[in-house]
């Protein structure tokens, strides 16, 4: 009997959409303000996934302005395989609206986008028996309209479909033809702890739809289950005939209300059919797997020495990929970042990072700053919530941005030359917070209720390899429960004055 561990795609990877082409499975997730947009994953057993590229990977497809807020940008794609082609539709919030791209190979290249003039978010694609392409979306409920997928032209006026049981925010619709029925799966209740999945069916489109009598068919709300926020699911039938659902969920830790720093992740759960209805879950951290031949992919290295001519697909930047700001050619074997803003909370900030995928992990990088330069290592949730350890001249400092407050927590003089910066994330949530303020003796907090999901230790390494900790900071302030929004932590390098050269970067499990 085969088992697998959830999440199948750990770290910030929400709103998964899946399709099958023969014995291969492909999956797309949201990317929000990060580019390239719409990560694309490949699997042959539904449990092992590798990142093969992005659907929106060049400026002609996606370039976000500095005015696009964090947690805006690319929302909730739908990925489908139809008539020998791959189709991806998504909404760029604060940008170009709903766009549709196609490819013969999901690894790319993908076409230039076609605009689809619908309001709302979370577009879906499904083709009926006559060949009409239906586009469903969320806008004051769930609506649907026929479209020409080659041009994006609407073939009529949008009509009301089925909008759930009356819970808030009906969204993420997916429409399927299975046997004699059309099934409409949607999420409702909001993407926080109340998240739920409900389903209805109809004999023909656009309905009327008959809801399942026991909706929602999946929710972990009001339970102590270790997986929460379950919703935004998509169904797939495996090539052995079994049915599965991918969906988003979180793994909160710490004291009430529980905090998740890595964002909403992609989970897999089996689906059974009862009385003509698909019934998923529950979603377990350890789950019985599909009876498919296991197909693990080679592990990606934790370390990048920046020897390749281009960044690997797992690297993301903020809002655009600017070759003048992110340079692999100026200093061979180094990533050189040239600043465009004085701080990570300013428009145009230069930041290159990778998603945090493990609850306990360590990030290290070797930095050398040019004269007058400033750069460093950061754990970022958004402009107003990030921790930094940076080098400027002969000083290394730890900086915390929490909401409207930005503070240098500690700083220390260091010798000239390259320096290894380091941030460790630990889940020892019983540890009282300690902070070293500007070189003073460590101060242990008292009178505090310890309930952080994790602790982030910021510092640098001596030439002997010893970790000099400048600050230990509470991880709850880099979580959605505190900051709001829809993303998760991204760990990476930045420059906020002049130039900074990075010899290597490593992000590894503890």
Say if residues 372 and 382 touch (Cβ distance below 8 Å): no
Rounded distance between C-alpha atoms, residue 52 and residue 103, angstroms: 13
R_g of the chain computed on alpha carbons: 23
In Å, how far are 93, 421, 456, 491 from 473, measured between CA atoms?
33, 16, 5, 15
Sheet containing 265-274, strands listed edge to edge, beginning at the edge strand earlier in sequence: 228-237, 243-250, 265-274, 277-280
Looking at residue 415, its pLDDT comes to 92
For residue 225 the two structure tokens come to 């289950």
CA-closest candidate to residue 281, choices 233, 352, 351: 233
Is residue 261 left, alpha or beta, with left meaning phi > 0 and alpha meaning psi from -120 to 50? alpha
Q: What domains can you pick out in the chain, each with its CATH number? A: 3-288 (2.115.10.20), 303-509 (2.60.120.200)
Looking at residue 37, its pLDDT comes to 98
For residue 21 the two structure tokens come to 């082409």
Helix (H, G, I), strand (E, B) or coil at 475: helix
Residues catalogued as catalytic: 15, 171
Element (H, E) at 481: helix 480-483
CA-closest candidate to residue 245, choices 262, 257, 263, 231: 231
DSSP secondary structure string, 159-181? Answer: EE----SS-S--EEEEEEEETTE
In Å, how far are 258, 331, 474 from 247, measured between CA atoms?
20, 42, 29
Backbone angles phi, psi at 453, to 5 degrees: -70, -30
Helix (H, G, I), strand (E, B) or coil at 480: helix
* Biggest CA pair distance of the chain: 74
Burial classification of residue 450, based on how many CB atoms lie within 10 Å of its CB (0-12 exposed, 13-18 middle, 19 or more buried): middle
In Å, how far are 221, 345, 418 from 249, measured between CA atoms?
11, 28, 40
Rounded distance between C-alpha atoms, residue 262 and residue 11, angstroms: 5
Looking at residue 436, its pLDDT comes to 47
Rounded distance between C-alpha atoms, residue 394 and residue 419, angstroms: 10
Q: How many residues in the chain?
A: 510
Rounded distance between C-alpha atoms, residue 464 and residue 158, angstroms: 66
Per-block mean pLDDT, blocks of 10 residues, the chain (510 long): 92 98 97 98 98 97 94 98 98 97 97 97 97 97 98 97 97 98 98 97 97 98 97 97 97 93 97 97 92 92 97 96 94 97 96 97 97 97 98 97 96 95 83 50 55 93 95 95 97 98 97
């Amino acid at each position: 009997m085969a088992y697998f561990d959830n999440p199948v795609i750990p770290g910030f990877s929400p709103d998964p959409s899946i399709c099958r082409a023969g014995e291969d499975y492909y999956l797309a997730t949201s990317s929000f303000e990060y580019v390239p947009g719409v990560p694309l994953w490949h699997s042959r057993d539904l449990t092992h996934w590798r990142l093969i590229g992005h659907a929106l990977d060049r400026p002609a497809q996606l370039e976000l302005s500095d005015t696009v807020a964090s947690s805006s940008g690319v929302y909730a794609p739908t990925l489908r395989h139809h008539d020998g082609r791959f189709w991806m539709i998504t909404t760029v919030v604060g940008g170009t609206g709903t766009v549709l791209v196609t490819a013969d190979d999901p690894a790319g290249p993908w076409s230039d986008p076609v605009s689809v003039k619908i309001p709302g978010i979370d577009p879906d694609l499904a083709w009926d028996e006559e060949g009409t392409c239906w586009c469903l979306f969320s806008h004051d409920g769930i609506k649907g309209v026929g479209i020409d997928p080659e041009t994006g032209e609407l073939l009529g006026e949008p009509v009301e479909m089925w909008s759930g049981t009356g819970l808030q925010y009906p969204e993420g619709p997916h429409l399927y033809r299975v046997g004699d029925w059309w099934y409409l799966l949607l999420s409702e209740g909001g993407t926080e702890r109340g998240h739920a999945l409900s389903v209805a069916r109809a004999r023909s489109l656009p309905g009327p739809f008959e809801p399942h009598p026991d909706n929602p068919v999946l929710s972990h709300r009001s339970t102590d289950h270790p997986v929460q926020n379950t919703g935004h699911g998509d169904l797939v039938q495996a090539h052995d005939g079994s049915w599965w659902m991918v969906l988003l969920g979180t793994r909160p830790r710490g004291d009430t209300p529980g905090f998740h720093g890595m964002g909403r992740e992609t989970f897999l759960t089996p689906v059974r059919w009862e009385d003509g209805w698909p019934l998923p879950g529950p979603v377990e951290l350890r789950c019985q797997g599909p009876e498919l031949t296991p197909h693990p992919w080679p592990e990606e290295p934790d370390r990048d020495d920046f020897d390749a001519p281009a960044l690997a697909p797992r690297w993301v930047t903020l809002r655009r990929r600017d070759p003048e700001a992110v340079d692999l050619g100026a200093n061979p074997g180094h990533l050189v970042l040239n600043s465009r803003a004085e701080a990570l909370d300013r428009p145009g900030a230069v930041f290159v990072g990778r998603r945090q995928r493990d609850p306990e992990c360590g990030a290290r990088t070797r930095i050398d700053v040019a004269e007058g330069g400033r750069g460093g290592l950061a754990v970022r949730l958004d402009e107003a919530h990030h921790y930094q350890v940076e080098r400027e001249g002969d000083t290394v400092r730890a900086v915390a941005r929490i909401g409207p407050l930005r503070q240098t927590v500690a700083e220390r003089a260091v010798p000239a030359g390259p320096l290894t910066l380091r941030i460790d994330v630990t889940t020892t949530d019983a540890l009282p917070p300690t902070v070293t303020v500007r070189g003073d003796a460590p101060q242990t907090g008292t009178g505090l209720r310890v309930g952080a999901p994790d602790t982030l230790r910021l510092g640098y390494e001596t030439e002997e390899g010893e970790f000099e900790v400048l600050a230990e900071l509470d991880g709850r302030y880099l979580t959605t429960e505190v900051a709001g929004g829809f993303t998760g932590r991204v760990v990476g390098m930045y420059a906020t004055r002049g130039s900074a050269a990075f010899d290597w970067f490593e992000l590894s499990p503890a």
